[in-house]
Structure formats: structure tokens, C-alpha cells
């Protein structure tokens, strides 16, 4: 068992600290947000992540996990300190390291000789060396700085921590690297020991590649839509190639969240600083921004004007199993709908309040009387919704599906007009009260 401190109780810090405690370590998480710390000590989780709340409560009960705002108390006896503060983007897209710098400078006077400083925050290559310099000027003690990027997916963070694909450790000291391996020793996950620069680059390169894969399939979906091909079948055929793989080949209305957009833009800035314009990633971001407008473009083509239209927006989180709305396509869609004079009302099973429009807990009430509906997040309560609900509750059963939740054959004999991504739209036409004609547009 090791005495560990985690600085920062945001998404990465709280998940990391809680999971390390569950491995048997004595963990203290520290944050300057007193309200958040009080809530955590009372057994409340500040965000939605499946399974995390119960893990927090059980480790609090076992006294392996503590939360405090007192930095000196948190780091004075720590053998290892994880830096897990935010690195938001600057106006130019680069990473803002001010929180990292503040954290390491503040803890410097209190650390013991030989303390291991572990950078868990997502940072650009070269940050490990900067941390050494920031701490060296403020501390006469010896210490080691190791880069240990996180690969936690929102919605499945606990699984990713305990059963991840790899644990990357970037260090210039073999003993420091082995010490961190010992902290993770109860996890049956492969270790990759690298130099710090490479470890930092692995994180950015991984997220940028996945973002590229998403934008690529979205570009293919646009071509499929124009040609009449089916993007679902195309993606299935591509994914069967072991060199490509099926993951991240779901066409939709773009990626969001706190990682892919921010890290991709940051890598573009890193490349520019080295004199290399990363044109591919710039195009990836351009495609993603355009994709967020896809459903509205389809609606404008269908209606001409959206002014006064009552729109049911289904899904606000950028992906299922999280309440994170950062860079969410659903939020972008709502803002544009309002600019076009529409009246959006939203449903999400977890996100309950946003400053942009009304949110209703009932998907049936959101759909009731709507002129059309737009699916932005493939929550099960949305993707599994019977088509009868659209037909029986909406003013007119017109559905714009930004996540391709339904199969084409689901609409046979239905009166729903259905628009999806990378597939030909369908319109259900009622020719008379007794007969229904199903038409391919």
C-alpha cells in the first residue's frame, strides 16, 4: 500500500484517485473547490459516471479515500503525487498549462525527498521538463517527474482504468518508472515504458487518430448519401478488414466532449510550433464542425424555413452514459435552431438543465406536438424508442436521426418521414385512411 495524493477532483482526478484507493492504496484527493470537497466527503459525485459513486462510497467507508482542500496536509506524507488538473484550451487552441504550473509550484514546499510527481493531466510534449524546472526553482528537495497519460473514456472510465489496453509511463529514471509500475501492479494491463516526450505525444496522437477516423467515416457518409449507397453497409465492410477495425466507424453528427476537440487542436498547435502545418488534422476539425450542422441543413432543405417550428431535440450529452455537454453536437444544434427562429425543447435522461432551452424529463412530452424531432445522442431510451411513439405523439412524424439509431427496414409500412446520415431518406405517405404507401425519396 502506498500513500498517494491526487491534485484535482475533476473527471480524471476523481476517477484516478477512487480507483487507486480501490486497489488498496491510501489516497487523498485535494481540490480548491470547497463545495465540491464537502459534497465528496458526504458521498456525492459531481458528475455522472456509471459505477463511480458506489466506488467512492465504499472506499470512504473503508477509510482508503479522503478529500480535502488543505494542500500541505494532503502532500506532506505522500510518496506519489498525481497531477490531474485541467488543461483548457487557449484562444489559439493550445493547451493552457497555468493550472499545472500553479499546482506543482504550490506543492513544492511540502513534498518529501524522493517524492514521485506523476503528470496525469493531458499536456503537450515538453511539459514534463517544464514541471521539473518549475519545481526546481521552488524546492530544495529531490523529486522525480513521470508522465502517465490517461486513456479514460467517459461512460466507461472504471472499465478503462482496471482493464485498459496499456499503461504508458514516460520517465528518465528507471527506478521512478518501476515505482509507478508497482502502484499499478494489481492491474493486469501491459506497461509501456518510454521517455517523457513520447509518453506525452502518445496521448495526443491517439486522440487525434480516433478523431480522424470519425471525420473520415463522416466524409464517406456524405458521398454515400449523394450516391445512394448505404453508409452502414460500407462501414461494416470496412470494419471487417483487420487493418481498419470496426470501432469509430459510426457515421453521425460529429464528435464532442472534453478530449477529442481540445487535444486535436492542441496537437495542431504543437505541430505548428515545430514548423509543421498539420493540414490533415485541420481538415478533421473542419469536417467535424460542418457535420454538427448536418441535421439542420437537412431540415432547411426539407422545410425552407424553420422559423416558428417546434423541434424535439433528443439527447444533450455528447455521448451516452455521461452528463458532459462540452462541445456537444446537440448543444450546437440548439443554438443554431434558436438563431433560425425555431422553438427547441430537449430531452436527455441525465442532463436536466441547460441555459439554452427547456429540458423535459419525459421524451413523450418533448415529442408531443413537435413539428419534427432530431436525435443527437444514442441513449438507449432514445435509440430503443418504439416508432409508434413518433407516429402517435408528434404533430407530424418527421425524424432527423443524427446517430443512425434505426435500420432502414424498421420503417416499412410506417408513416414516418425519416432522414439519417449517409443513407437515402424515406417518406411515409398516407394515400388514404385505409392504405399506406412507403416511398423512397
Phi-psi region of 369 (alpha: psi -120 to 50; beta: other; left: phi over 0): left
Residues marked active site are found at: 259
The neighbour count for residue 55, using CB atoms within 10 Å, is: 18
Is 26 annotated in some ligand binding site?
no
DSSP 8-state secondary structure symbol assigned to residue 110: G
Residue 307 marked as a ligand binder: no
CB-count exposure of residue 243 (10 Å: 0-12, 13-18, 19+): exposed
Asked if residue 251 belongs to a known ligand binding site, the reply is: yes
Can you tell me which residue has the cell 482493464?
163
Q: Which residues contact 225 (CB under 8 A, 6 or more apart)?
A: 231, 421, 422, 423, 424
> Hunting for cell 526553482 — which residue is that?
137
Alpha-carbon span 250 to 26, nearest angstrom: 41
Query: Annotated binding residue at 122?
Result: yes
The answer to whether 195 is annotated as binding is no
CA 412 to chain CA centroid, nearest Å? 35
Q: Could you tell me the three cell numbers for 215?
A: 471525420
Joined together, the cell numbers standing for residue 435 give: 392504405
Residue 151 is assigned to a ligand binding site: yes
Give the distance from CA 263 to its chain's centroid. Answer: 11
409 has binding-site annotation: no
Judge whether 250 is annotated as a binding position.
yes
How far apart are alpha carbons 413 and 429 in whole angstroms? 9
CB 49 within 8 A of CB 15: yes
User: Any known ligand binding at 73?
Assistant: no
Residue 371 known to bind ligand: no
Determine the Cα–Cα distance for residues 340 and 345; give it in Å rounded to an integer: 14
The Cβ of residue 371 has, within 10 Å, a number of other Cβ atoms equal to 18
Phi/psi at 391 (nearest 5 deg)?
-65, -35
Beta-sheet strands, E only, within 203-355: 310-314, 343-347
**Per the annotation, does 179 bind a ligand?**
no
Q: Is 8 labelled a binding residue?
A: no
Strand, coil or helix: what is 67?
strand
Annotated ligand binding at 256? The verdict is yes
The residues near 112 (Cβ < 8 Å, ≥ 6 apart) are 76, 77, 78, 79, 141
How many Cα atoms are found within 13 Å in the side-chain-facing hemisphere of 92? 10
Say if residue 248 carries a ligand binding annotation: yes
Binding residues: 31, 36, 87, 122, 151-154, 203, 248-252, 256, 262, 319, 326
Give binding residues for substrate as ranges.
Answer: 151-154, 203, 248-252, 256, 319
Which residues are part of a known binding site for NAD(+)? 31, 36, 87, 122, 154, 262, 326
Amino acid at each position: 500500500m502506498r500513500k498517494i495524493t491526487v491534485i484535482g477532483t475533476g473527471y480524471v482526478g476523481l476517477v484516478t484517485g477512487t480507483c487507486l484507493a480501490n486497489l488498496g492504496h491510501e489516497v487523498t484527493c485535494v481540490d480548491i473547490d470547497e463545495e465540491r470537497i464537502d459534497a465528496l466527503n458526504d458521498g456525492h459525485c459531481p458528475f455522472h459516471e456509471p459505477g463511480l459513486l458506489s466506488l467512492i462510497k465504499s472506499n470512504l467507508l473503508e477509510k482508503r479515500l479522503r478529500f480535502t482542500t488543505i494542500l500541505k496536509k494532503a502532500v506532506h506524507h505522500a510518496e506519489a503525487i498525481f497531477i490531474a488538473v485541467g488543461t483548457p484550451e487557449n484562444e489559439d487552441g493550445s493547451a493552457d498549462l497555468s493550472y499545472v504550473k500553479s499546482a506543482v509550484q504550490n506543492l513544492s514546499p511540502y513534498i518529501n525527498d524522493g517524492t514521485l510527481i506523476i503528470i496525469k493531466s493531458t499536456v503537450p510534449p515538453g511539459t514534463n521538463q517544464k514541471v521539473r524546472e518549475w519545481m526546481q526553482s521552488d524546492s530544495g528537495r529531490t523529486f522525480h517527474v513521470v508522465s502517465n497519460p490517461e486513456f479514460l473514456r467517459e461512460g466507461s472510465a472504471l472499465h478503462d482504468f482496471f482493464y485498459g489496453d496499456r499503461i504508458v509511463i514516460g520517465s528518465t529514471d528507471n527506478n521512478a518508472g518501476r515505482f509507478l509500475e508497482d502502484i499499478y501492479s494489481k492491474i493486469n494491463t501491459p506497461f509501456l515504458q518510454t521517455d517523457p516526450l513520447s509518453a506525452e505525444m502518445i496521448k495526443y496522437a491517439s486522440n487525434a487518430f480516433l478523431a480522424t477516423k470519425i471525420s473520415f467515416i463522416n466524409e464517406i457518409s456524405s458521398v454515400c448519401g449523394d450516391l445512394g449507397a448505404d453508409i452502414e453497409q460500407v462501414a461494416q465492410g470496412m470494419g471487417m478488414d483487420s487493418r481498419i477495425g470496426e470501432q469509430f466507424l459510426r457515421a453521425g453528427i460529429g464528435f464532442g466532449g472534453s478530449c477529442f476537440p481540445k487535444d486535436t487542436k492542441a496537437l495542431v498547435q504543437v505541430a505548428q510550433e515545430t514548423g509543421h502545418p498539420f493540414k490533415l488534422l485541420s481538415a478533421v476539425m473542419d469536417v467535424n464542425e460542418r457535420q454538427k450542422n448536418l441535421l439542420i441543413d437537412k431540415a432547411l432543405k426539407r422545410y425552407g424555413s424553420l422559423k416558428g417550428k417546434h423541434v424535439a431535440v433528443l439527447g444533450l450529452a455528447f455521448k451516452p452514459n455521461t452528463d458532459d455537454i462540452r462541445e456537444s453536437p446537440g448543444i450546437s444544434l440548439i443554438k443554431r435552431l434558436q438563431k433560425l427562429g425555431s422553438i427547441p425543447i430537449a430531452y436527455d435522461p441525465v442532463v436536466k438543465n441547460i441555459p439554452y432551452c427547456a429540458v423535459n424529463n419525459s421524451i413523450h412530452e418533448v415529442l408531443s406536438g413537435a413539428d419534427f424531432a432530431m436525435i443527437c445522442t444514442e441513449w438507449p431510451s432514445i435509440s430503443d424508442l418504439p416508432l409508434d411513439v413518433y407516429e402517435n405523439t408528434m404533430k407530424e412524424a418527421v425524424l432527423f436521426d443524427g446517430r443512425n439509431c434505426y435500420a432502414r427496414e424498421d420503417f416499412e409500412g410506417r408513416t414516418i418521414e425519416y432522414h439519417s446520415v449517409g443513407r437515402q431518406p424515406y417518406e411515409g405517405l398516407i394515400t388514404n385512411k385505409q392504405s399506406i404507401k412507403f416511398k423512397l425519396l
